[in-house]
Structure 1
Amino acid sequence: MSAPSSDRAAEQQRARFDSATAALDPPFALVDLDALDANAADLERRAAGKPLRVASKSVRNRTVLRRVLARPGFAGVLAYSLAEGLWLAGGEDPVSTDVVIGYPSADRTALRRLAGDESAAARLTLMIDSVDQLDLVDAVVPPSARPSLRICLDVDASLRAAGGRVHVGVRRSPVHTVEQAAALAREVVARPGFALVGLMAYEAQIAGVQDDPAGRRWRGAAVRRMQALSGRELAGRRAAVVDAVSAVAPLEFVNGGGTGSVERTSAEDAVTEVAAGSGLYSPVLFDGYRSFTARPAAFFAVPVTRLPAPGTVTVAGGGWIASGPPGSDRLPLPTYPAGLRRLPAEGVGEVQTPLRGPGAVGLHVGDRVWFRHAKAGELCEHVDVLHALSGDALVDPFPTYRGEGRSFG
């Protein structure tokens, strides 16, 4: 009997990867540029004309960021730290001259650098959700000693029900209501040394939660109901917030969404741009969505070092575990050869990982096993370069943040 088409495709992909990287010794990471470009094009299609601001935490590679930002549908970076943003926007050849810092910063050194550089102050936008964060900036560098700093308000996009007793989403900003957003906007505008230019509301419960997880039919149905309810509530509240804040100060941009919500978020008139990043590499946590099917573009390879029992192999390392709530969905997924699974009693290890299943048949010491990481950019924290595959051949490797000697936490 011939192998199913999915098995044949997996065998072909494995052979493609193995052949192209035959001269490399694992462990190493690979980015498939054909898949990356296809994913970028699909994000543009889903955004339906709204610009996409690339989330750098999900990429962590300047070469990839430049490649994506050269596309017509992408504009600007959503950075995850101020020090990172200064690096990306600085120098004679910046990655971007439009960098929004996605999280409030308490990095006093970076704040001093920002306040001491008029060019950086014009290129970067700080995120705030309370007056305390403005106070910190003023304490580091008073308004009289710095250029005006660009400010974006972070508005809570979570779903709150039952009088606030039920909270669905992440714990981010304390600013939830229209009144709270307008009040904070007035505080920013009233203070010297700040210019209110943007607003962000990230709906993690929609953009970052699988609505069709494999083998979990009832959970998927429940998630879809929650997301439909949350989406309707947020669309109305976000529009009202934008109207209220715009009455205080004209906004240059309103950012929302993420890879899992591009269509829904871009359809809102109040939103001017959508954030996305994970959909470029398409890690395991983004496999279970109904609205899109991305192509896995980032992988890492580790070598087989033991054959402890029939139908079982052990690979070196493999324990590249993703952040978030502890669980099996945070573990890397053995992908090629197909038919490998982790041992529940051992999981993935710091120095070795046992794997079992029909995919182990035919593997020998020195062969490689290909994994996919659970989250996108965190893969780059383990390697100095992404080996870039175009077609069937490697091109020049893409240095990661780590490979360029940068670490931003």
Structure 2
Amino acid sequence: MKNAQAKRYNHALKQAGINDRPVLLLDLDAFDANAIALRERAGTLPIRVASKSLRVRKALGRALHTPGFRGVLCFTLAEALWLSSLGYRDLVVAYPQTDPEAISRWAGNEQARREITIMVDSRAQLDLIDRVVPRHAVLKVALELDAAFYPTSSLRIGAARSPLTDPEDLLTLAKYVSKHKRFELDGLMGYESQIASVPDGGISPKALMARELRKRSAAELAERRTEAVEKVGEIAELRFVNAGGTGSFETTIQEEAVTELSAGSGLFGPALFDNYRSFTPQPALFMGFHVVRRPDEDTVTILGGGWSASGPAGKDRLPAIEHPKKLKYLGLEGAGEVQTPLTGPAASRLKLGDTVWLRHAKSGEPAERLNKVAVFSKDKIIDQWPTYRGEGKAFL
């Protein structure tokens, strides 16, 4: 973030009377530009919006009103039920669900049964649902193919998700679903995290290894996913085959078996996406914190700031310091929950009450911290959108 951009954000917040910190600021012009860029990368395939990566309902709605976007990839059944009650359609829950209260509500609501599909990858999950719901309900489910890459039989590269690695395993479960009067097989999903979520920009050995990994994994997965879709397609007509993520569009769209893509992070442009070769989204979501202390001439302390990202602990999970640029975390403290000391040449120019701008490493997680997002466009704050939290919702 350049000085001029920080001044524009600070001035717009002041003019709107938004003086509280921390503050979330969404640059709507950058958000819209990212949506267009995702659509162009997707080619002819529709994009299902991953709500986990937004958790701001008005941002979700804005994406869905952009040509090329269709449907929501939810992260819990309770969230999908809430969105369904508000009129959202075509909701796929990306993770298996075991909450009996949510399952009962799903089964007992005709609209929810029509609009919501949940992911399964084992007979045990289906049997659990079967024990909970009334006998008359027919529920839509989708199967998840394990999309991780296995260079050897004992090494997995990618997310530990579904146990259905082999197309034959997927077919066996599909046959079980098709014979069960309770369930309707609606679709298939496979998320290649080792491609979609692994930065590969630059010329470092790590980047070169990442590019080779992505190439090999994409080729192997395309063959395996095609076989899986063909096998399952012999016993059920799949409404959708969902695949990919923000970082893998270029390889995923080459697979004829895939009917739709998923994306969410690419709309907000978090820091983990700063080093991709194929796509670098514009940073759109920022976090502002007040300077409240000066431990010494070269150090300032902001109130809060410790909004580290989920995943393996490391420096890349810390919020990126956007402005002023010449600041860094203290090695012994890092980003603290209540206070975060920052040191560097820029510290001497900061005064108490000044705003330091950070950017989260991941996308939707900051929405769990604050109740609203200040929406910036054309040098003004044009609105304030509630987060899920601001609407009284906390799903995970």
TM-score > 0.5, shorter chain as reference = yes
Tell me by how many angstroms 1:340 deviates.
1.4
Return the alpha-carbon distance in structure 1 between the equivalents of residues 3 and 210 of structure 2.
34
Q: 2:50, 2:74 within 8 Å by CA — same for their partners in 1?
A: yes
Q: State the match for 2:159 in structure 1.
A: 170
1:88 to 77, 83, 99: 83
The amino acid that maps onto 2:82 is W
Out of 332-341 and 112-121, give the one that drifted further: 332-341
* Maintained 8 Å contact 1:208/1:260: yes
Please tell me the residue identity of whatever aligns with 1:78.
L
Paired residue for 1:27? Answer: 22
The answer as to 2:96 corresponding to 1:104 is yes
Q: Identity over the aligned pairs, expressed in percent?
A: 48
Contact 1:11 1:338 in 2 (8 A): no
| Residue 49 of structure 1 pairs with residue 44 of structure 2 | yes
Given the alignment of the two structures, is residue 152 of structure 1 paired with residue 142 of structure 2, yes or no?
Answer: yes
Shift of 1:61: 0.8
Structure 1 residue 266 corresponds to structure 2 residue 253: yes
Structure 1 contact 315–369 (Cα < 8 Å) conserved: yes
Segment of structure 1 superposing worse, 360-369 or 270-279: 360-369
Distance in 2 separating the partners of 1:266 and 1:68: 20
How many residues are treated as equivalent by the alignment?
Answer: 393
Q: Does the aligned pair in 2 maintain the 1:36–1:280 contact within 8 Å?
A: yes
Q: For residues 307-326 of structure 1, give each alpha carbon's deviation from its aligned partner in whole angstroms, at most 9, with x where no partner exists.
A: 22222211111111111111
1:140 to 123, 132, 141: 132
Letter in 1 for 2:103: L
Alignment partner, residue 378 of structure 2: 391
Alignment correspondent of 1:208: 197
Deviation at 1:156, TM superposition (A): 0.1
Q: Give the C-alpha shift of residue 28 in structure 1.
A: 1.1
Name the SS for the 2:280 alignment partner: coil
Structure 1 gap ranges (5+):
1-8
Matched, 1:375 2:365: no
> Does the Cα contact within 8 Å between 1:285 and 1:374 map onto a contact in 2?
yes
8 Å CA contact 1:284–1:333 kept in 2: the answer is yes
1:296 partnered with 2:289:
no
Among 197, 210, 220, the alignment partner of 2:186 is 197
Aligned with residue 239 of structure 2, among 238, 252, 257: 252
Moved over 6 A (4+): none
1:324: which partner in 2?
311
Distance 1:341 1:49 in 2: 43
- What is the CA distance between 1:358 and its match in structure 2? 2.4
Cα shift readout 1:271-311 (whole Å, capped 9, x = no counterpart): 00000000010111111100012110001111001122222
Code of the residue aligned with 1:85 in structure 2: it is A
Q: Distance in 1 between matches of 2:378 and 2:251?
A: 33
TM-score (norm 2): 0.97
The answer as to 2:291 corresponding to 1:287 is: no
Equivalent residue, structure 1, for 2:2:
10
1:123-178 superposed Cα distances (whole Å, 9 cap, x missing partner)? 00011000001101110014x232x111110110011132x111111110000111
Who is 2:116 aligned against?
Answer: 124
Secondary structure, aligned partner of 1:397: strand
Q: Verify: 1:218 aligned to 2:205, yes or no.
A: yes
- Which deviations, in whole Å up to 9, do the C-alpha atoms of 1:354-404 show, x marking residues without a partner? 111222231101101000011100010000001100110001201000000
Residue 289 of structure 2 contacts residue 302 of structure 2 at CA under 8 Å; is this kept in 1? yes
Alpha-carbon distance in 1 for matches of 2:284, 2:273: 12
Report the equivalent of 2:332: 345
Asked if structure 1 preserves the Cα contact closer than 8 Å seen for 2:84 and 2:111, the reply is: no
> Cα deviation per residue 1:33-71 (whole Å; 9 max; x = unaligned)?
000000111000110121000000000011000000001
